Amino acid sequence: AQAPTGPTDAGSLWPWMLVLILLFVVVALSLTGVKKSLANAVQEAEGREPLPDRTFVQSVQEWAWNNKGLATVIGLAVTVWVVLALWNFAWTIGVYGGDEVAHYRPEQPIAFNHTLHAGSAGDGNLAINCQYCHSGAEKSKHAGIPSANVCMNCHQAVNQGRTEAGTADIQKIYAAVGWDPETMKYTGEPEPIRWVKVHNLPDHVYFPHDAHVAVAKLECQECHGPIDKEMTVAEQWAPLTMGWCIECHGDKAVKLAGTDNGYYEEMHRRLIENEKLGHRELKKWLEDEKVTVKELGGWECAKCHY
């Protein structure tokens, strides 16, 4: 599923809308007062009694009665605006992702450069496999944040970065594991790295990395974006909303046959062996020349909520 190209500023419009509404009310009240003062001045000049006092609500009611067409249009416009605002607000209740969260990139204690480590060697990067550091991605629900000991597999020998900032970050790794580069020994005084969590899902959502990496054979970039090309410090590239997930499940094609994926091979075998139900389902699914995750049950509630 395609992620937004940038963060949205829709939420910042609300304060300005409220300011404009308040200004409109203030101007309307002021003009009403001025109009009444002028009318009373005319009444007094003509020797008549001043106009009776009316509340703002009474004045609005009188105006609406005398301008039924315009009042109806304004009333409908306000009603539609309120309904749309409530509808959009309802869609955000309990949502921890969304366009306002996409591209969230907090400052980290160590500015780990993902592009340098995972980027193409042809671009002068190191081309390290993502799963070398995030070893849990293929085997468990969580990809996991690697311990600093994993960093030391390389940086016990590599103690200089390509920039001064990179070298300073390597020194932070040494401090985290309690390593003295001068004596090439551990001091026994480690200092934990306090990473700031980037990707958050609500507790009722089950997202297994292993199913997407080992079974679906998805590339990390499909959910995490061009982290090997355009990102230094990691950011949340996608909104991670339910709509974003099921959009992918509804569009992503599954290769059932001719694959080394045992799960899909077994599913394909069962479908072709069942001449009645299996053949009928395959024929229906292949009308658009592909079998999607949705057609294999990828939209069932229990797939993600159990």
User: Alpha-carbon distance 276 to 24, whole Å?
Assistant: 69
Q: Which domain holds residue 65?
A: 10-92
Same domain, 123 and 202: yes
pLDDT tens track for 26-77: 887 788 778 778 887 887 888 887 777 777 777 778 878 888 888 899 899 9
pLDDT tens track for 228-244: 998 889 999 988 888 89
Number of folded domains that form the chain: 3
In a domain, 233, yes or no: no
The predicted pLDDT at position 253 comes to 87
The predicted pLDDT at position 192 comes to 93
240: left (phi over 0), alpha (psi -120 to 50) or beta: left
pTM for the whole thing? 0.67
Q: Given 224, 257, 288, which residue is the final one in a domain?
A: 224
Q: Both tokens of residue 63? A: 């105006």
Same domain, 64 and 118: no
Q: Given 62, 92, 122, which residue is the final one in a domain?
A: 92
Query: What number is the average pLDDT over the span 272-283?
Result: 76
**Which has the closest alpha carbon to 171: 154, 193, 179, 118?**
179
Q: How confident is the model at residue 5 (pLDDT cuts 50, 70, 90)?
A: very low
Q: Given 176, 196, 224, which residue is the final one in a domain?
A: 224
**Which has the closest alpha carbon to 204: 237, 243, 242?**
242
Same domain, 154 and 211: yes
Q: How confident is the model at residue 99 (pLDDT cuts 50, 70, 90)?
A: low
**Residue 89: pLDDT over 50:** yes
